[in-house]
Structure 1
């Protein structure tokens, strides 16, 4: 059991794999467990989950700095990005970062658009000629940050900007409210069960989107049988029917995260990442994700019982709310083969 940021986490050992799966605080676990137990007792009803969906939507809006009415609720990032891909003219030019997470790139490629990969540092300078720029704010593979200010300044007035905030929301204070779409999955840094995702959309993009995946939830309780088509008049018309238990967890996790001091969270996570970087002789960085390209790094971490990931030929570690200096030092000891110096 660990106490951090006013809550507790049932973490044993050293867990540095939040970029793959986040560790929920105890209240999130308890809420989901209680909902499962109520389901088992036949005490649930569909309408009973509506407030959880609404609470998670409100908090996502707060986290990205966009209106609640602009937020669509879904289950996975790729399905939400597919709505954008489907709204574009044929063979639109979509600029993405090299080695971008495929939930961002595949929907555009599958829709037949021209998807052009460039180094993430080159995105701003090449953005003006694109119909769409689609990029992760923080790269999944190595934690690299896109220069949001430079990108915002560089895009032309007709260029749509789609930001995947999956690897940044929950630890990185960043202004993403100017983008046309800000999409994120909840099961990593937002510490929610898998099956909850959201996309906030600008007015100009919302006017172009077709609710091609619309079911009854996109219209509400008055739209469960028969025609004509009747959908919500805000971004809820793009909703997918929710994965209820995932939304129950998100309704606890997201309001709590939105209420934390974002600067303090950032300094905690990046400070621990830089503690590890310093011990390994790496320059300081601005990311909570550390990519270690050393022979056998992932294997040494695993042998020490430290849970991390292997991505793109490197060991990938992520530091979040439950992590401590002891975690960073344990990773350093495993990676360097010696005791971490006290700092």
Structure 2
């Protein structure tokens, strides 16, 4: 599908520049959600109908990031997906993380400190050099939530491989606009409600086979079974042989919305999506007299930004006087210009 054709599938109210907080659903998602809500309300279908969306979502996510669906686990949030990886670290292991990092990819390691796991934080621009022979795992966001900085993925992976360290990536703020090769890492964790524009409550993890061998499925339930439909009751333990053993029982309504948007994204040229989003971000920066960047998330400091944006009907994140604006498929040049006019008034 061509990008311009796909962009007609969204119905945003003008002024939404906050995909880094949550993405907006295209028409197929809205339609699917109305159907599943109606079915739930009336008891019209059995759960198997909703459950089909989980398999569709897993397969589409795998295609989107270039991995085998058998290596994808589904869940609800990045921290939950990271937990069994953190629990698999031996006492005395050292984890290196950027010092200003979103806590979903920081706290899972910190709670292991009572077992002797050591967490070392360093500036993001020093992360590559900080990976050494004493590093067992490096964890980072591919795109930083706070300011949109794109991490040097290839350099970090190369440094980690040189020292036999594991690589765990939170791609929540990247997947959906920034093309990358998930299988270069040992684990890639994605909350789907931002740039993938799914309902909150759907999340995915690429887990490399070698990493899975070190992990234990502490949250295993019926959905982690080799055959979930035959795993409702009783002994013996019969877990899936692939990444599904780390699945948690899915929130079906969320996945009913995730499947159509993930399938839509697989039909689009990922480079075209990136170019569209970054061009709008750079239009915004240019209008405020800032140099261009390489991210769909940008931050600028503007006095009285909250009030100025509110008066213009622009919705963006404002924290400590800094505007964080984010641009995606449904963003228009008119949205960008409205924000520029508001902030330069």
- Please state which band the TM-score falls in when normalised by the shorter chain: over 0.9
Q: Kindly indicate whether the alpha-carbon contact (under 8 Å) linking 1:298 and 1:314 is maintained by their aligned counterparts in 2.
A: no
Q: Which residue of 1 aligns with 2:338?
A: 330
Q: Which residue of 1 aligns with 2:122?
A: 118
Deviation at 1:56, TM superposition (A): 0.5
Pairing 1:254-269 to 2, within 5 Å after superposition: 254-269=262-277
- Distance in 2, Cα, partners of 1:163 & 1:313: 29
Point out where structure 2 has 5 or more consecutive residues left out of the alignment: none
Q: Which residue of 1 aligns with 2:100?
A: 99
Deviation at 1:313, TM superposition (A): 5.0
Decide which moves more: 226-235 or 304-313. 304-313
Q: What TM-score, normalized by structure 2, do the two folds share?
A: 0.94
Secondary structure in structure 2 of the residue aligned to 1:14: coil
Q: Which residue of 2 aligns with 1:270?
A: 278
2:194 to 188, 203, 208: 188
Secondary structure in structure 2 of the residue aligned to 1:329: helix
1:172 to 171, 178, 189: 178
Q: Which residue of 2 aligns with 1:74?
A: 75
Q: Which residue of 2 aligns with 1:10?
A: 11
Deviations 1:27-59 (A, max 9, x none): 101101110001111113222222200111011
Q: Which residue of 1 aligns with 2:135?
A: 130
Pairing 1:207-218 to 2, within 5 Å after superposition: 207-218=213-224
Q: What TM-score, normalized by structure 1, do the two folds share?
A: 0.95
Q: Kindly indicate whether the alpha-carbon contact (under 8 Å) linking 1:4 and 1:321 is maintained by their aligned counterparts in 2.
A: no
Deviation at 1:91, TM superposition (A): 3.6
Deviations 1:149-175 (A, max 9, x none): 211221135201000010011111122
Q: Kindly tell me: are residues 277 and 6 of structure 1, through their superposed partners in 2, closer, same or farther at Cα, counting changes over 3 Å?
A: closer
User: 2:323 aligned with 1:315, yes or no?
Assistant: yes
Pairing 1:38-49 to 2, within 5 Å after superposition: 38-49=39-50
Q: Kindly indicate whether the alpha-carbon contact (under 8 Å) linking 2:142 and 2:173 is maintained by their aligned counterparts in 1.
A: yes
Q: Which residue of 2 aligns with 1:289?
A: 297
Decide which moves more: 323-332 or 113-122. 113-122
- Distance in 1, Cα, partners of 2:284 & 2:186: 36
Pairing 1:12-27 to 2, within 5 Å after superposition: 12-27=13-28
Deviation at 1:6, TM superposition (A): 5.1
Deviation at 1:4, TM superposition (A): 5.4
Aligned length: 335
User: 2:35 aligned with 1:34, yes or no?
Assistant: yes
Deviations 1:137-159 (A, max 9, x none): 00001000100121122113520
- Distance in 2, Cα, partners of 1:137 & 1:249: 25
- Distance in 2, Cα, partners of 1:320 & 1:312: 24
Secondary structure in structure 2 of the residue aligned to 1:307: coil
